[in-house]
Amino acid sequence: MAVGVLTAAPEFTKQIYDDVTEKMFGHASPMRGDEAPEGLIAHSAGQGEQGYYVYDIWESREAFERFMEEKLGPALGEVMGGPPPEGGAPQYFPIDVLVIPH
């Protein structure tokens, strides 16, 4: 089942997002479609009231967690000098309906 994954924390900024993207893909944002990790359906990011928000839709929670363990977590650790802030822990939402117009 597809799952939505939301991360946001006051400590997250556009600069951190760009730096993490550069660590993972060799260039600042945006991630190109051909670089999308296995299991990613859709990705969005932007400034919100509580910092920089990232909202993704993944094929499964396991696919996101694998990406977090293998690429995103290590890149975040390097950029932020340690583990991500607790307020930035991912929130998961089951996706009941997903419409992607062509």
Instruction: Give domain limits for the chain.
Output: 3-94
Condensed to tens digits (0 to 9), the pLDDT of residues 83-100 reads 766 767 899 999 999 998
**CB within 8 A of 74, min separation 6: which ones?**
23
Under CATH, to which class is 3-94 assigned? alpha beta
Confidence of residue 32 (pLDDT cuts 50, 70, 90): confident
Average pLDDT value for residue range 69-88:
85
Task: Give the model's pLDDT for residue 23.
Answer: 93
Task: Give the model's pLDDT for residue 47.
Answer: 92
Closest CA to 7 of 38, 37, 45, 34: 45
